[in-house]
Structure 1
């Protein structure tokens, strides 16, 4: 008589039903998993994590709560807070920075005083922006992961896989959210201010520094602590003043980042190869692929163009902040050394920032800050601080990449305008004029007729 005991392949659909139905597994099923080569304890743990992620998944099956928990765990793991002495030093630094900036820029102060944030406070204040920027990439990875697993699943599981699409999608999305949380948590141990990363992470009109991270920057630099705090506070306040004055600027920057992120496409071939080997109990390979950016192929031409525009915008902002901070802190004996330290950190970026680049394919370190700063200095020397800062009043006035390349032409236009003259057109202006002229309709034959009487006729 044939053995009618179901084999491992016959039990597999039932196990998937348990997994996607959210029920637990009984001891007999766990024993069957051992026969199939699975580690039951590891898989049971993985199921619990996936079911928890599924229960907490937000829009699109991605649990951003996982990202927050992971980031806060890293940010708060040392348990350190901000002492009264540090808070007092930060408050004094922001007060003096406000006075010094009054001499270096015509842009008015922010309404609320700058504050000291803990690492955990920085995570909570900035995570909504990180989520907004990362969501297009997370969605792309989650969708591709779902499709790849469906293609790799055997025929007898296709119905179950289709019915469990949301849970399958949660696997990739939740792993991405966890990695994002790790990156943001690590960043909280590196940044020294709200504007340190270059993009506007804090709300308009908010300035903050993270005193817990000062020591790691100044440890080997022989820079007095009070001077470093004052420099960082001045720079952060200049950044906050600019974004509060130019209310359109924050949305402009974040829109450019989102434009780049929406163009991210996953390397489906690499993901399909990985899906064929994927073990939910051992997601290390997928996690490593997310960490290294292996799933993100080479940038498209559209992405390269979007990144170039973003780099120009960030360089223009950072160049202005550099120039204003340089002038405002000219009384600080260590200002030049601190400025060079800030420039090196911004050019290289820390490990967490490099991980962010791998995760979402975006590097936030503009390469043309020195050139942009030179342009802003030339403008201020030619037309003064007030006229320089008026260029932030409208997106139409902000210097372009062409202006960074050729500050002399920008200065010539501004000085001519200051004298009440029509500025001399450049190549762009000439090309625009020709384009507009070409769009004007040619006069018709009727337009050419005049009311003059023809010969031999009497005027009416």
Structure 2
């Protein structure tokens, strides 16, 4: 990855190696069962496409500008294991962080001993990034990955990006833990993840908009490499117990890693990103539960058990990691975003809600996520 003047900021290969070595093994399952799970997830992903597009009334545009018919292969579906999920996300991180790490590399390369520090720091940071990814790799059920370059192992949409990842071992683990019907749970998960694929394939400007906001956020990073790496190291040490008890400090003890590296300008950008992510996640939850009763007989039981599991976490370390990585904020995004979507659809219908996808200007602000009537008033010109 970014390597200028002999200085490598992050050893991404080591990050992949570390994550795949540390990640928990998946649930015990025979080869035949594994093949059946993969085949069923692929079938559910295909079926979910039609269910989601019919419910949301969102279709990818065709070359002539009209709506695409059902079945268009706008982005591939990849059923993956935990190691493959790690590799896909590392590829995405490399792409997104290249400009930031390039600037930091140039700054460090000009300092005395910069090459030596870079070599050592790249290895250390690679291990630490790998540790964080190993935690996440056993928890993610699915993801629409849109930033990694297209490769043989990571095919993407025809325009050069985007693929839907379904993490099979994690889906099997959760369905067993919740003791729910596997067929129903797998379809329910696919409905959520297919909604994300539909969002990005039916709204062509959305990927570039999100990428632009993330790049703007990174461009505002004003700290030097050593400070950023120190923050990351502190985060990992506080999570793994490597830091002596009592050294956390009041300033950073209750803040996520993202919050620790923010400047005032970044907070403004992050507010916009938070609103977009709340919309996307809330919309996916709304759709999966809206379609669910028609095709998932046990959807009520699944939702009740899954929501309880999502909120409770799995122990002290899990809760600490979620807080530090900002995953608690993600849980709020699900709740607040779903409430926004439901309220707007109740007020102006699905077609009225879909005006949210017209342009970046019609996306809700962070304040409007909490005040759906404000968005309706601004976009539809309707008073409360």
Q: Taking structure 1 as the reference length, what is the TM-score of the superposition?
A: 0.60
2:283–2:338 Cα contact (<8 Å) kept: yes
1:71–1:185 Cα contact (<8 Å) kept: yes
Please state if 1:252 is matched with 2:214.
no
Match of 1:90 in 2: 41
**1:334 is matched with which residue: 278, 298, 316?**
298
Distance 1:97 1:220 in 2: 24
How far does residue 182 in structure 1 lie from its aligned partner after superposition? 2.4
How far does residue 301 in structure 1 lie from its aligned partner after superposition? 3.1
**Matched positions, count:** 334
Distance 1:93 1:353 in 2: 32
1:168-247 equivalent positions in 2, closer than 5 A:
168-195=117-144, 200=146, 204-247=161-204
Distance 2:103 2:306 in 1: 35
1:142–1:170 Cα contact (<8 Å) kept: no
1:100-139 equivalent positions in 2, closer than 5 A:
100-108=51-59, 111=73, 112=75, 114-133=77-96
How far does residue 117 in structure 1 lie from its aligned partner after superposition? 1.2
**1:61 is matched with which residue: 8, 31, 34?**
8
Distance 1:220 1:76 in 2: 16
Cα RMSD, aligned residues only = 4.2
Structure 1, unpaired ranges of 5+: 1-55, 151-161, 275-285, 418-422, 427-460
Structure 2, unpaired ranges of 5+: 60-69, 149-155, 240-247
For residue 48 of structure 2, give the secondary structure of its aligned residue in structure 1.
Answer: helix
How far does residue 243 in structure 1 lie from its aligned partner after superposition? 1.2
How far does residue 226 in structure 1 lie from its aligned partner after superposition? 0.9
Match of 1:322 in 2: 285
Larger Rg: 1
**2:223 is matched with which residue: 265, 279, 298?**
265
For residue 282 of structure 2, give the secondary structure of its aligned residue in structure 1.
Answer: helix
1:138–1:176 Cα contact (<8 Å) kept: no
1:347–1:365 Cα contact (<8 Å) kept: no
Distance 1:377 1:357 in 2: 27
Match of 2:20 in 1: 72
2:271–2:366 Cα contact (<8 Å) kept: no
How far does residue 122 in structure 1 lie from its aligned partner after superposition? 1.7
Distance 1:173 1:211 in 2: 31
1:189–1:213 Cα contact (<8 Å) kept: yes
When residues 270 and 370 of structure 1 are mapped into structure 2, their CA distance, relative to the original with a 3 A threshold, is closer
For residue 333 of structure 1, give the secondary structure of its aligned residue in structure 2.
Answer: coil
How far does residue 362 in structure 1 lie from its aligned partner after superposition? 8.9
Distance 2:337 2:263 in 1: 26
1:311–1:367 Cα contact (<8 Å) kept: no
1:183–1:353 Cα contact (<8 Å) kept: no
1:192–1:232 Cα contact (<8 Å) kept: yes
1:101–1:328 Cα contact (<8 Å) kept: yes
Distance 1:66 1:381 in 2: 49
2:275–2:364 Cα contact (<8 Å) kept: no
When residues 209 and 362 of structure 1 are mapped into structure 2, their CA distance, relative to the original with a 3 A threshold, is closer
**2:272 is matched with which residue: 309, 314, 325?**
309
